[in-house]
């Protein structure tokens, strides 16, 4: 999990899933994270700096893994390695949609660079948490 910007409620869903399914969850962040005491949950702290956590995830991910991230370029790297990527709102990244999502991301960055206020993402709602949990359960079911 790209834990630097992952909402706590999503981390909690992952913690419960790790215990229930006995599948390891690794949180990667450039800061210390407190995690529950569990043999299935591990935090990895990396150095600060742009994309350091993303690079650590991309280096370690393998085909069949699932990465939870809001970062579209990281999702593209994960997909290229044969892993799955899911955002905290429960929207899966796919090889079919990643190019379009990268393009929109780059366009929005250009607008911000030109001084246009684009706003941030909307708040995470209960329906987003439910969508995430449902997609996670679907992925976990396919792993069995």
Environment class of residue 86 by beta-carbon count within 10 Å: exposed (0-12), middle (13-18) or buried (19+)?
A: buried
When pLDDT is averaged across residues 94-114 and rounded to a whole number, the result is 86
Single out the residue of 24, 34, 33 nearest to residue 4, CA to CA.
Answer: 33
pLDDT tens string 33-69? 999 999 999 999 999 888 999 999 999 999 999 999 9
Residue 20's contacts (CB-CB under 8 Å, 6 or more residues apart) are none
pLDDT tier for residue 110 given thresholds of 50, 70 and 90: confident
Q: Are 108 and 118 in contact (CB under 8 A)?
A: yes
Predicted TM-score (pTM) of this structure? 0.89
Q: Which two structure tokens, joined as six digits, stand for 31? A: 């800061």
- Residue 89 pLDDT > 90, yes or no? yes
Per-residue pLDDT at 103: 84
The most distant pair of C-alpha atoms in the chain lies apart, rounded to whole Å, by: 49
Q: Are 15 and 135 in contact (CB under 8 A)?
A: no
- Residue 120 pLDDT > 80, yes or no? no
pLDDT tier for residue 75 given thresholds of 50, 70 and 90: very high
Mean pLDDT, all residues of the chain? 92
Q: Which two structure tokens, joined as six digits, stand for 104? A: 């929109």
Residue 35: phi and psi, rounded to 5, are -125, 160
């Amino acid at each position: 999990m790209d834990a630097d910007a992952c909402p706590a409620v999503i981390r909690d869903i992952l913690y419960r899933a790790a215990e229930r399914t006995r599948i390891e969850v690794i949180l990667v962040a450039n800061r210390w994270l407190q995690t529950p005491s569990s043999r299935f949950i591990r935090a990895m702290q990396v150095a600060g700096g742009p994309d350091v956590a993303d690079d650590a995830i991309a280096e370690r991910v393998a085909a069949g893994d699932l990465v939870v991230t809001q970062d579209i370029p990281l999702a593209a790297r994960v997909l290229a390695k044969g892993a799955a990527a899911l955002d905290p709102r429960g929207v899966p990244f796919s090889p079919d949609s990643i190019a379009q999502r990268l393009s929109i991301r780059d366009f929005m960055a250009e607008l911000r660079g030109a001084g246009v206020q684009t706003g941030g993402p909307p708040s995470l709602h209960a329906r987003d948490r439910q969508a995430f949990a449902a997609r996670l359960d679907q992925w976990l079911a396919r792993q069995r």
